[in-house]
Structure 1
Amino acid sequence: MAVGAASRRYIGPLLCINLVMHAAVLGIAGWSLNKFIDRETHRHLGGNTATGYLLVFSLMAGVVGACSVLPALLHVRAPWHSESLAAAASTGLVSWALTALAFGLACKHITLGNRGRRLRTLEAFITISTLTQLFYLLLLHAGALSGVLGVGQACGNHGETCCREIPRGELAADHKTAGGAPSPDA
């Protein structure tokens, strides 16, 4: 119970951090890609053979990441239903996968060297964004598994019969049907 309450408390601020990080990745990667396509030399850009791939995947990760914050905010504002949990978790997982791919390209970019200040900043933002997105997913799933958020309370939406326990008598192997004949399972 405490894990779910703690994760609900931290998800909102973490979503704001993720949105800011993805917006920063979009801004830096968009500017850098524009300069890179125009073959303009800029003292803060630099670059190597992995720069083009890094910029393209950073833009994709930034767009999908910013869009994944919307279902997550709806899940935070909603009464934590399983329907909104599914949307938040699936878009968050796709966003994290693309951000992790951009992180891998950033690692390769660091290894090759010859990068400017803007590209180093982009690499840092991608690294932080990968970690915060992973932390968000862990908190989201910890809350869902604890029963405080999401799946554990979804039965309350459909009425009391969904969440009732099945009486032990109905589970017995020698249970007879309503007509008095033994059940086919017995």
Structure 2
Amino acid sequence: MANGQLKSVAGLLLVLNFCMYAIVLGIGSWAMNMAIEHGFVIGPGFDLPAHFSPIYFPMGNAATGFFVTFAMIAGVVGIASILAGFNHYRYWNINSMPGALSAATIAWTLTLLAMGFAWKEIELQIRNSRLVLCPTNIDFVST
């Protein structure tokens, strides 16, 4: 009885983790695409800017590049851990559990690392000029 209940909970968690990592990969891929398209142009005759960083993002602050990079790595490893978890879900025996557990632990630690960079991005509070906050003292005129 309990074995069947745990298997259904594991299946639900696999689906939720897949959705979470797919969303992380989607948003991270969009941000990486924006960074590549709107990054520095380096070619013959162009000098590197004074504060050049290979992980430059035109949005956010100095921690954005690290955050997006590690979030995408965590997303890819998370999808791989979901595949290992699905294999364990399919066989549901003690022999398939160590592989799924180790893959899930690695994905979890990489997700924690990306979360640490997200906290650093929030802590810096230095924003790019494109991320100007709207003033809070706007007087709305009713028509």
For structure 1, the residue ranges without an aligned partner over 5 or more in a row are: 118-186
For 1:1-186, what aligned pairs fall within 5 Å after superposition? 2=2, 6-39=5-38, 46-78=59-91, 80-113=92-125, 114=127
Structure 1 ranges of 4+ moved more than 4 A:
none
Match in the other structure for 1:155: none
Q: Aligned residue pairs: how many?
A: 111
Deviation for aligned residue 1:96:
0.4
Deviation for aligned residue 1:94:
0.6
For 1:97 and 1:58, the matched residues in 2 are separated by 11
Q: Percent identity?
A: 40
Deviation for aligned residue 1:6:
4.2
For 2:117 and 2:16, the matched residues in 1 are separated by 22
For 2:63 and 2:21, the matched residues in 1 are separated by 20
Helix, strand or coil for the counterpart of 1:47? coil
Deviation for aligned residue 1:5:
5.3
Deviation for aligned residue 1:75:
0.8
CA RMSD of the aligned region, Å? Answer: 2.2
For 1:47 and 1:22, the matched residues in 2 are separated by 21
Helix, strand or coil for the counterpart of 2:62? coil
TM-score, normalising length: structure 1: 0.54
For structure 2, the residue ranges without an aligned partner over 5 or more in a row are: 40-57, 132-143
Structure with larger Rg: 1
Q: Specify which structure has the higher proportion of helix.
A: 1
